[in-house]
Amino acid sequence: MKYLITGATGFVGTNLTKRLLEMGEEVVAVDSLSRAGSERNLEYLRNIFPKLRFFRREIEDVPGLIYQERPHQVFHFAAQVGVAASVENPLRDFRINAEGTFNVARAARDIHAPVIYTSTNKVYGDNVNLVEITEGETRYDFDGSMKKRGIPETFSVDADKHTPYGVSKLVGEFYVREFGGIANRCSCMYGPNQFGMVDQGWLSHFAINQIKARPSVIYGDGKQVRDAIHIRDVVDLLVRQSRALDGPNSDRFAGQAYNVGGGFENTVSLLELCRRWGIRPSFEAWRPADQKVFYCDITKAAKSFDWQPGVSLEEGLQDLYRWTERNA
């Protein structure tokens, strides 16, 4: 099949592009190269695949490329990914994540190419903080019915606090699903080819800081918990979703949203990560709409695609740290 991947030299895009090309598929790689590390990832891909078809495009130019290339499917990863950046410049955030995704999804619909989209757990907004929690020495955790289960896709997205980033990603998700694609509400993804920053990719960001002897800042008290999922498991799911959308029962999956995370078994708090890596952080005030606990219920994706995370947190963090030591 022929795939067009936006954000193809970002973290997820690089790993998926590599997997699809190794499988012998045709890939049209598209990226603006505006994100730190994207040019290095492009060089990495070209060293492995010298004939990589790559187009440098801003999001506004992607629909024209979709009409030109006419792929069978589109993976849409290009985005403005920073919460703080969305607060500082909500109009640019809207134009990339909401309007940009609408235009990509509409163009893909016009040529009958389903879209697989990376959304975010931020679409659940501040409602997550209304779930009863308990507090331990190093972490918060859900209490009651959510404990060890996590947030399901049916959890309300109707909250009064999302941040502009959460709003724009939710708008993009709605259009992708309306036009017959799949939206993946991603939790904390990590692994090789990730160049994390304070707003996104926090596991990578903390590893980079430690390796380069830079200070690390925790916003809040550090007991915030997230479920982490290694990129190998994310790519495995994306490939399974692609096959499902190309199969005889594609209507079962078109228009659906799926939680993508490590689940309770792969949760870690900021304090626990700092202790693991010997980091001595400083602390600043909580950020707007920051979720004290988030881990997702991945039952729907597991049942729909016969999928489960296979990389343990211990193995995955070692892999991330080793890769960062070589490439930071």
Three-state secondary structure readout of the chain:
CEEEEECCCCHHHHHHHHHHHHCCCEEEEEECCCCCCHHHHHHHHHHHCCCCEEEECCHHHHHHHHHHHCCCEEEECCCCCCHHHHHHCHHHHHHHHHHHHHHHHHHHHHCCCCEEEEEEHHHHHHHHHHCCEEECCCCEEECHHHCCCCECCCCCCCCCCCHHHHHHHHHHHHHHHHCCCEEEEECEEECCCCCCECCECHHHHHHHHHHCCCCCEEECCCCCEEEEEEHHHHHHHHHHHHHHHCCCCHHHCCCCEEEECCCHHHEEEHHHHHHHHCCCCEEECCCCCCCCEECECCHHHHHHHCCCCCCCHHHHHHHHHHHHHHHC
CB under 8 A, 24+ apart: contacts of 249-254: 250/114, 252/304, 253/182, 253/304, 254/114, 254/180, 254/181, 254/182
Which residues does 239 contact at the CB level (< 8 Å), separation at least 6? 16, 19, 20, 23
The residue from 140, 165, 175, 190 that is catalytic is 165
117 labelled catalytic: no
Say how far apart CA 261 and CA 265 lie, in whole Å: 10
Q: Which amino acids are annotated catalytic?
A: 165
